[in-house]
Amino acid sequence: MRVRPAVRPVIVSLGLLAILASACSSTTKSSAKAPASTRSTSSCTATGVTSSSIKIGELGPLAGPAAPEFSPFFSGFKAWVDNANATGGVDGRKILVVGANDGGITPTQNLTAAQELVEQQHVYAVDEASDIDEGSGSYLHQGGIPVMGYNISNTWGQFDNMFGYSGNNSAQPEPKTTDGKFLRMEGIKKLAIIGVSVPASVTAAQEEAASAKVAGVDVVLDNTSASVINSVWTVQAQQVKTSGAQAVYTPMTVAQALPLYTAIQQTGDHLKFILLPQGYGLSVANQLGAAGNGMVFSINFNPIGTNPSQQYVIKALEKYEPAVPVTDMEIDGFLSGSMLREGLDLSGNCPSRKTLISKLRKVTNYDPHGFFTPPINLATSFGEPYGMCYHYVQIQSGKLVDLNNNHPVCGTVIHTS
């Protein structure tokens, strides 16, 4: 169960007006770059790099019970690969992808899958999204393997070879005041927290409780005992009603949260909203219908449509993965590819792993396709908790409404020690 510590599952994309690729802008040259270089590539001996290709490993739950949760991320990365290859690759080299399934259950599986990619497939770099990425973190760092991907866990704050699509993370769980600040702004005084019994959900619930406490919001219910495959939420719904909560925070997927929300409403309880740290997408309101009214999604990038450059990404996702809903998670996957491209472009004709890591870690003003305001500072954000600022978007009468008028709510770290 992957959870943003304070954002995102499944939605159908809307067709957007096609715009010129030149509309894609970035504060760094590579995020909108497409044409291949004419430089010679025949002398490069970097692992996983040939004169015609660069081999990237895909690491995560590619099959099994956890696969549906992460499939949008890998769909987004695939769209980035297809888009890059269709526009000349990187320095004339095509991106090749080989996958290794970690099963999504135990960290040992994650380590084994990483070893397969490095020692058997001889990949240049890894694109990773997994709840159990702590299994391979130290191994990939010791091997000097560049890792791009979904920086949701604290593993991404421990090793400088790991670059999340939006920066990094802290080495230890650190709650932030952001959500609590938002709850106060919305007049919430009593909050219920409902999650599932997996580490990511439990940790997110703990961080939310800390954030609420600092804001003076009373956590009247905190229940993360449900199974990750739970589908009946009658007991939890009654607990929410009895608690008198005005809002619910649920670090779960939309597929899990929707039946919980429905069950709460069936008790006659009228919440102001239910807050999800994931699930935002272009057509979530249409997909959920009236049942989704009141749901609030927190996202750590600019809402879609606030920057014309974002359309480059949306257009690529709709072109190369047309059967997959455009969600925050799919966008994250595409942006992890953009991060890889940034590193490759900075690394020259023969992009050694060491050079990519060194060059990318020095980038201070990175804004892939207009998704981040302010831009990401990869030099100073290492070790900073994920998502210090969030936009909060609510489904209201079948439409997505930014509750803060395109201005993110930003918080500070709550130091617990």
- The strand pairing partners of 55, in sequence order, are 96
Closest CA to 373 of 299, 281, 316: 299
pLDDT tens per residue across span 226-277: 988 888 999 999 999 999 999 999 999 898 999 999 999 999 999 999 999 9
Read off the pLDDT band of 283 (50, 70, 90): confident
Closest CA to 251 of 232, 288, 287, 224: 224
The pLDDT mean for the chain works out to 88
Give me the phi and psi of 61, to 5 degrees please.
-75, 80
21-172+305-370 and 178-301+389-410 in the same fold: yes
**pLDDT confidence of residue 34:** 39
Read off the pLDDT band of 19 (50, 70, 90): very low
**pLDDT confidence of residue 238:** 97
Higher pLDDT, 265 or 10: 265
Does the domain formed by 178-301+389-410 have CATH 3.30.460.10? no
Q: What is the mean pLDDT of residues 120-141?
A: 97
Q: What is the mean pLDDT of residues 342-369?
A: 96
**pLDDT confidence of residue 417:** 63
Q: What is the mean pLDDT of residues 156-170?
A: 93
pTM beyond 0.75: yes
Higher pLDDT, 8 or 337: 337
**Tokens 């929300």 appear where?**
261
Kindly list the domain boundaries of the chain, sorted by start residue. 21-172+305-370, 178-301+389-410
Read off the pLDDT band of 3 (50, 70, 90): low
Tell me the helix, strand and coil percentages in the chain, rounded to 5.
35, 20, 45
The CATH superfamily holding the domain 21-172+305-370 is Response regulator (3.40.50.2300)
pLDDT tens per residue across span 207-223: 999 999 999 999 999 99
Reading the block at residue 388, the tokens are 């210090």
